[in-house]
Structure 1
């Protein structure tokens, strides 16, 4: 029996966590307008209310922090603002969780790595972020792990869902608007459906409150397998019944962005599996299920 507070709850992950709520899981998912993680007073009040509600209902409290500044390019010129949400916010949240003895799952990203590996990144590999977004998320990890809270970091990547903007939704729109679309074919990662990620996080949450959680404090959770943005775009077109040959490959150099993108950001799920947690299904299977659920 869980009561889960999800800061950043109106995003794609938060909405999927709320959708999984049932008799055994209660999810409270406020958006940033309702709960600003950079406001210490608001955070302390929210975590205190969570702990009290859990006590009154006989449930176990848990916080899943999905609040984040995710505008990767804008962060290059707004790093202070990104730092406030991605590092200062988690620091405040972790301190509140520590004082009320509420366990915390904090979401992080593949961008904390350099992106130049030739094999999947393990959870304990050295981080070396190359973008402002990555630096602020790395600082958030440090803040959480150094807080004294009972906390776990879960890194994920290439997340898509029904809410907000994401690559899969963009390709769906472009398939209806353009005859041809160019997509980079030299960046590799693991597409992750937010609904699958949400289910994995709740499994982790139950492990934490029932068994004390994994001994390793950093875990990776992404869809199974790997691909490039180009091949993901082709798969989207296939699911839409559109000709995938309308998607043309290009290089990162041909599609310059303000923030550097990781060329290789596949995350190893070894630590997740070693913790006895269920690996997420292969990315292609998940994409098919996403479209079946959203037609």
Structure 2
């Protein structure tokens, strides 16, 4: 029985993997968060990994507070970069499969067509800079690792755009949402399933892969879909990013091309509205 170690086990993706783990009893699942496995303690990390001795690591942990990261470079760098180097080094030395989750924010947003895995990264904020450094360290320390780039992650767990918008649409008569940042949302449950499809596939093809749901939309259009599915009586207006300045710059276009993950592992990529409906139905049940 292979032992799978999940870092960031209480986050959105970690929580979805925890749910999904029940469908994969052939694996022994070890879910950790910073209380059980402190990725910031680099000196102790290798010892902890040796004690757990997993055959598979899924690294879901990251410093994902994009705006906060602008003033917390050191923390971002440890979580998004330096700890990844340790995980990659240990996994390579111990014949352990590593799946590391990255982000569309490694790009500058100047593209106009869906980004493939070979597109040139050029991050424009601290989060993106440290995540790209993490990718580079991962591939350098463990050329056999798989890196999954994803975007606009949401779930029925944790804090995210879908939950925030749903709450605000209940509370307010009108909302403004940026309409000039284009990409595609990712339902964390779909990403969790994609990871398990890869781990149970006949082949292990190392490298970088993209995963997000199908669709090319703005945050404004995403909000409209939430309004429609949730039947919220709230007026939604689209505004340019310049009207809503944030500490961290966001890529204006970061749509990911999913061809490689589909053809290599046969991963099924659901359409974004289909997944959004599933998530919002779950939120209704849990509320």
CA deviation after TM superposition for structure 1 residue 150, in Å: 2.4
Q: How many equivalent pairs are there? A: 282
Match of 2:256 in 1: 267
Structure 1 runs (4+) greater than 3 angstroms displaced: none
Cα deviation, 1:25-74, whole Å, max 9, x if unaligned, reads: 332111112111232354323432443xx6xxxxxx21010110011111
Question: Residue 35 of structure 1 contacts residue 42 of structure 1 at CA under 8 Å; is this kept in 2?
Answer: no
What SS is found at the alignment partner of 2:18? helix
- Offset of 1:180 from its aligned partner? 0.5
Q: Secondary structure at the match of 2:21?
A: coil
Partner of 1:201: 195
Residue of 99, 102, 105 corresponding to 2:96: 102
- The offset of 1:294, in angstroms, is 2.5
**Structure 2 residue ranges without an equivalent (≥5):** none
* Separation in 2, partners of 1:206, 1:50: 21
Structure 1 residue 28 and structure 2 residue 17: aligned?
no
Partner SS state of residue 149, structure 2:
strand
Match of 1:187 in 2: 181
Using the TM superposition, give the Cα deviation of residue 197 of structure 1 relative to its aligned residue in structure 2, in angstroms.
0.6
1:222 is aligned to 2:220: no
Distance 2:80 2:175 in 1: 33
TM-score by length of 1: 0.91
Matches within 5 A, 1:117-266: 117-148=111-142, 150-207=144-201, 210-211=202-203, 213-215=204-206, 217-243=207-233, 246-266=235-255
Q: Secondary structure at the match of 1:214?
A: coil
Q: 5+ residue gaps in structure 1? A: 55-60
Q: Deviations over 1:137-182 (max 9, x none)?
A: 0000000000035211100000001222111111011012111110
SS at match of 2:200: helix
Per-residue deviation at 1:2?
A: 4.1
**What is the aligned partner in structure 2 of residue 12 from structure 1?**
12
Q: Distance in 2 between matches of 1:2 and 1:222?
A: 27
Secondary structure of 2:141 counterpart: coil
Supply the distance in 2 between the matched residues of 1:121 and 1:224 (Cα, whole angstroms): 13
8 Å Cα contact 1:185-1:249 kept in structure 2: yes
Counterparts in 2 of 1:247 and 1:145: CA distance versus 1, 3 Å: same
Q: In 2, Cα distance between the equivalents of 1:234 and 1:145?
A: 39
How large is the Cα RMSD of the aligned pairs? 1.5
- The answer to whether the Cα contact below 8 Å between 1:116 and 1:262 also exists between their aligned partners in 2 is yes
**8 Å Cα contact 2:91/2:142 also seen in 1:** no
Report matched runs for 1:69-88 at 5 Å.
69-88=63-82
Tell me how far apart the structure 1 counterparts of residues 3 and 143 of structure 2 sit (CA, whole Å).
18
* SS of residue matched to 1:258: coil
Deviation at 1:276, TM superposition (A): 2.8
CA distance in 2, matches of 1:149, 1:97: 10
Aligned mates of 2:66, 2:60 — CA distance in 1: 16
Q: What corresponds to 2:45 in structure 1?
A: 43
